[in-house]
Amino acid sequence: MSIACYRFLPFPSPNHITGFSVAVSTKKLRTRKPITYALDPNVTDVDHRTSFQDYQSLFVSQRSETKESVSLVLVEGSIPSDFPNGTYYLAGPGIFSDDHGSTVNPLDGHGYLRAFQFGNGSVSYSAKYVKTEAQREERDDSTGEWKFVYRGPFSVLLGANMFGNMKVMKNVANTSVGVWGHRLLCFWEGGNPHQIDPVSLDTVGEVDLLVNHNRNYNGDNTGGLYKMGMDFVGMFLKHLLLGVFKMSEKRLLSHYKIDSKRKRLIVLSCNAEDMLLPIANFSFYEFDSDFKLVEKKEFSIADHLLIHDWCFTENHYIIVGNRIKNNGFGPSFDAVMGHSPMISTLAVNTDQQTSPVYLLPRFGRTTTGRDWQKPIQLPKKMWVIHVGNGCEEIDESGNGIIQFIASASSYEWFKLHKLFGYDWRSGNLDPSFYSVVEGGRGEEKESISSCPHLFMVSIKLIEGISSLIDVSRIWNRPADFPTINQIFSGGRNNYVYASTTVGNTRRPFLPHFPFDSLVKLDLSNGSMVTWSADDDRGFVGEPIFIPRKKSTKEEEDDDGYIVTVEYAISKKMCYLVILDASCLGEVVAKIEIPKNLTFPLGFHGFWAEK
């Protein structure tokens, strides 16, 4: 483990795998062995080969599920007395290769929900697949055999007849998880969430949060003749997408938000046809703790956008427009015929040199007199991946200011059909996707402007002027998954935590991703501190903030603990690591997951206190 602390200038406030062991069904399978990952034949350097294998090891399928929760062993430290009782849930894909030779992109892997239950100083673990309709169709419960029938939007299946196989948007419930109104829900980017029993982790069923709410129009939806024309074209596309491609009418985003102050769950949806049209229809829904709809707002934006994450403030929803375009007849024909992933029908639109920020009024009309349809343009092209938080404040002159922090990459780096380095031709995951190389092999140029990195924006509401706050003065390494104390969501916070990498000295052939460290940024004074995984071949997942047990003293937004999963590849183990959020220093507790239950890299998690 390594710890580093620096201080900067004040920051403006306002499957041939040598990796993890895999537990498989003891029942005899009726078909050939699962596909194995082959090493890149061009890779000759020993360290390079090891790095390639390490990356594949993070995405080895885990076919086993726990029948009952398993008690875990502390291998370092102890559970603090002020660590609350509750459960850390982690969503993500669990299977990538079936028993018929097909390998899918991690984004299309079936949802595998992991749960760490804390109580009275002990921890237990359980994990089960989310029993979606697609999961039931593609897994034989009697034999344990998997056969991918539907490819999903990011994948291609080996030897399958893709023409006529149009159920592309299969709901795998693998992206995020949350607890609201006593419901445990697993979300996915493009369909309804699935409700899970919080104790057994059995799937209750699919939940339509938007049912009966789609006709209650209440918003600032204008657009004139342009929108009328797009609605006319969209009507035909909608019948095609719903009837042929089996898509949902509303594409619910996997990232939701919780307004702790108002005690509301906020979700965002788009129309299915928006994927193919130069218009984006956003619908925001706010639910109380009984899932009663208390607010709905709709907005139409005349642009072709693909949004994954967003944020809110006291009075606004904030969306940074990631611009896309249709990729032409050739790529679209190949995708429909099954020769390439369906997502390759779309491409990142690099024509524009700026990034539009839309400040959408949360309640009624905007109070600043600004036309919300006219975005504020950031001076750089940035493909926003995840948003940490946003807030509104009044400066010393009485002007309203909005600030938000997020992770983004360059448009040139972001490739929709290569996410996670997925190569549908070979079935490999190529980690060089995350490297910026110039001149040839080994001549690498570090570039945070290309790989995912952190940035912060400050916007003066009246003037509509934006400025990029240079977060690189605090941290200039690739980073993602910006996380805060969720109690402060939508309001002012001083501290941001993110997954990052400390540099290429430890892993010269995996310099940017997977992440091997966590960083804490102090936005009030421009200082930072990092923590790194013990193992030189260790990686970490997303950080999650857990507040301490309630105390009488006034709480700071770093008054709690950070939890993350460490993937120790050389040991073929997973560990749950607890760190003190106030200093991010020595490990408070390190908990071992049994080797037969090691699991692949997760996506997003949630802490639910008892």
* Token pair of 203 as six digits: 């799937």
Provide DSSP, 288-348.
-TT--EEEEEEEEESS-B--S--EE-SSEEEEE--BEEE--HHHHHHHHTTSS-GGGGEEE
The CA distance from 64 to 146, in Å, is 12
> Look-up: residue for tokens 């102050």?
261
> What values do phi and psi take at 396, rounded to 5?
-65, -20
Q: Which one-letter amino acid corresponds to residue 493?
A: N
The CA distance from 249 to 239, in Å, is 9
Tell me how crowded residue 25 is: count the other CB atoms within 10 A of its CB.
13
Under 8 Å between Cβ of 171 and 135 = no
Q: Is 16 annotated as a binding residue?
A: no
The CA distance from 508 to 505, in Å, is 6
| Bridge partners for 90 per DSSP | 114, 605
CA angle 341, 352, 406 (to 5 degrees): 75
SS3 for 534?
coil
Q: Is 308 annotated as a binding residue?
A: yes
SS3 for 243?
helix
Under 8 Å between Cβ of 123 and 75 = no
The CA distance from 468 to 11, in Å, is 12
Q: Is the peptide bond before 514 cis (omega within 30 degrees of 0)?
A: yes
Under 8 Å between Cβ of 573 and 593 = yes
Q: In what order do the strands lie in the sheet with 112-119?
A: 70-71, 122-129, 112-119, 86-90, 605-609
For residue 58, give the nearest of 25, 90, 96 by alpha carbon.
Answer: 96
Q: Is 213 annotated as a binding residue?
A: no
> Look-up: residue for tokens 């204008």?
222
Q: Which residues fall in the annotated binding site?
A: 308, 386, 604
Annotated binding residues for Fe cation = 308, 386, 604
